[in-house]
Amino acid sequence: MMEVTLILPNKIGGQYREVSKIKAEGLEGHFTLLPAHIDYVSVLVPGIMQLTTGNREHIFAVDHGTLVKIGSAVQISSRNAVEGVNITQLHQVVEEKFKEIDDMEKKARSALLGLEYGVIRRFAEFGKE
């Protein structure tokens, strides 16, 4: 069995023991990890992740992150993770909230880039005087 730790930026999102299966989505597509799987690393993309413990299934909407499996220990680090019971609702969380965060980050990066260009341009003009 695997021991899974879900790590969020400001807290430990959860620790799960006796995990028999992990389903997630990475850059390479959907994948499933079982306890006997070799050590594994994946970059996670916004999507649905499932952990099976005994006869219970934990379902999460996860944002960008990483998954690292070493032996029976699995560490999952994500910017955001929301646990739920309704997979349709979690798909909606991924589509609306996580994509909205991505859009805001792109706008912020674009604004910062504009400020950097402005500073560089002013320095260049300052040198000509």
Instruction: Return the structure tokens found at 91.
Output: 């798909």
Q: What is the pLDDT along the chain (129 residues), one digit of tens a residue?
A: 999 999 999 999 899 999 999 999 998 999 999 999 999 999 998 888 999 998 899 989 888 899 999 999 999 999 888 887 677 677 676 666 666 666 667 767 677 777 777 777 777 777 666
CB atoms under 10 Å from CB of 4, counted, come to: 24
Look at residue 91 in the predicted model and tell me its pLDDT. 65
Give residue limits of the domains in the chain.
2-128
Look at residue 79 in the predicted model and tell me its pLDDT. 85
Compute the radius of gyration of the chain from its Cα atoms: 20
Look at residue 37 in the predicted model and tell me its pLDDT. 94
* Pairing label, strands 73-78, 2-8: parallel
* Pairing label, strands 11-26, 81-84: unpaired
Look at residue 125 in the predicted model and tell me its pLDDT. 76
pTM of the model: 0.69
Look at residue 64 in the predicted model and tell me its pLDDT. 85
2-128: which CATH architecture?
Sandwich (2.60)
CB 63 within 8 A of CB 79: yes
